[in-house]
């Protein structure tokens, strides 16, 4: 067993609400300086900054899991993590095709920049990435299955854009094995209130939109293998 420090919910400058300074190189570089073992890049409804982030991860010795923070049609945020870059990019394309086709206005919402590992801006994404997709919460498992994705309902204790703020309960057909808690002080009450959560894994992440907000290495996972597969394997099994 290996104990790895993690922060599995980090935005880059691709998210309109993400700081333009949060380039893949700056995010992964900050994680390396802090001594984080594993991070995930989870921009809203897109994985297009994962190629650069994963290259930086290799250069800086940080495991970078490619991901997407999906917005369901109920506006529930779900962190989706993938075993490979190709799978993440495949799902990213799928999610973008299911996103409301509304153009971004960078002056209001912020830029949506695809950046390479040297901070060069490659392009801007047209459609506003923080909008909802037409994928329902209960359809997420089916949507991510072809891409071998793992779904983690995000910040379930947040009072907006979360499973409990927007749906209010765990749908009975749910199959997720892990959820994200924003403040671990809420964990006990959540598990008391929602029986489904009692044998689920739980993680807590920064949800950083600025590099200053990335977590210090204070949260750990015990994995059999120090790799993307090792982390995903752990989180895809309940207790
Ligand atoms: Zn979110
Ligand atoms: Zn987020």
Q: Which domain, by its residues, includes 140? A: 2-235
Cα of 224 vs centre of ligand 2, distance in Å, is: 27
Cα of 37 vs centre of ligand 1, distance in Å, is: 22
Cα of 17 vs centre of ligand 1, distance in Å, is: 11
Average of per-residue pLDDT across 181-208 = 98
Cα of 55 vs centre of ligand 1, distance in Å, is: 25
pLDDT per position as a tens digit, 209-237: 999 999 999 999 999 999 999 999 999 99
Average of per-residue pLDDT across 152-178 = 98
Check pLDDT > 90 for residue 188.
Answer: yes
Per-residue confidence (pLDDT) for residue 145, from 0 to 100: 98
Averaged confidence pLDDT in the chain:
98
Cα of 156 vs centre of ligand 2, distance in Å, is: 12
Per-residue confidence (pLDDT) for residue 212, from 0 to 100: 97
Share of the chain above pLDDT 70, in %: 100
Domain CATH code at residue 24: 3.20.20.140
Task: Report residue 161's pLDDT band, with 50, 70 and 90 as the boundaries.
Answer: very high
Q: What share of the chain is helix, strand, coil (3-state, %, to 5)?
A: 35, 25, 45
Distance from C-alpha of 238 to C-alpha of 31, rounded to nearest angstrom: 28
Cα of 1 vs centre of ligand 1, distance in Å, is: 31
Q: Which ligand is nearest to the CA of 17?
A: 2
Whether 142 and 152 have beta carbons less than 8 Å apart is answered as no
Long-range contacts of the stretch 72-75 (C-beta < 8 A, 24+)? 72/132, 72/133, 72/135, 72/136, 72/137, 72/139, 72/140, 73/132, 73/133, 73/134, 73/135, 73/136, 73/137, 74/132, 74/136, 74/137, 74/166, 74/167, 75/132, 75/161, 75/166
Distance from C-alpha of 104 to C-alpha of 24, rounded to nearest angstrom: 21
Cα of 111 vs centre of ligand 2, distance in Å, is: 16
pLDDT per position as a tens digit, 32-58: 999 999 999 999 999 999 999 999 999
Is-above-0.95 flag for pTM? yes
Token digits of residue 81: 């993590």
Can you say how many angstroms the Cα of residue 171 is from the centroid of all Cα atoms in its chain? 21
Task: Report residue 239's pLDDT band, with 50, 70 and 90 as the boundaries.
Answer: confident
Number of domains forming the structure of the chain: 1
Token digits of residue 213: 């907000």
Cα of 226 vs centre of ligand 2, distance in Å, is: 24
Q: Which ligand is nearest to the CA of 67?
A: 2
Q: Which ligand is nearest to the CA of 162?
A: 1
Q: Which ligand is nearest to the CA of 15?
A: 2
Distance from C-alpha of 55 to C-alpha of 116, rounded to nearest angstrom: 9
pLDDT per position as a tens digit, 53-91: 999 999 999 999 999 999 999 999 999 999 999 999 999
Q: Which ligand is nearest to the CA of 166?
A: 1
């Amino acid at each position: 067993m290996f104990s790895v420090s993690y922060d599995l919910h980090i935005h880059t400058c691709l998210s309109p609400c993400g700081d333009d300074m949060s380039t893949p190189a700056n995010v992964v570089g900050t994680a390396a300086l802090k001594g984080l073992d594993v991070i995930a890049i989870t921009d809203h409804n897109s994985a297009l900054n994962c190629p650069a982030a994963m290259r930086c991860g290799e250069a800086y010795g940080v495991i970078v899991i490619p991901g997407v923070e999906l917005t369901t049609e109920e506006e529930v945020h779900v962190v989706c993590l993938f075993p490979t870059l190709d799978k993440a990019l495949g799902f990213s394309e799928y999610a973008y095709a299911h996103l409301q086709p509304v153009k971004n206005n960078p002056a209001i919402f912020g830029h949506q920049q695809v950046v390479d590992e040297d901070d060069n801006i490659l392009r801007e994404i047209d459609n506003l990435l923080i909008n909802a997709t037409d994928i329902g919460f209960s359809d997420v498992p089916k949507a991510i299955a072809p891409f071998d994705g793992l779904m983690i309902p995000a910040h379930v204790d947040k009072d907006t854009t979360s499973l409990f703020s927007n749906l209010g309960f765990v749908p009975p057909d749910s199959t997720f094995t892990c959820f994200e808690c924003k403040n671990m002080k809420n964990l006990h009450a959540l598990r008391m209130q929602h029986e489904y959560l009692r044998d689920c894994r739980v993680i807590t992440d920064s949800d950083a939109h600025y590099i200053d907000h990335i977590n210090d290495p204070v949260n750990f996972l015990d994995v059999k293998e120090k790799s993307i597969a090792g982390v995903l394997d752990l989180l895809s099994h309940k207790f």
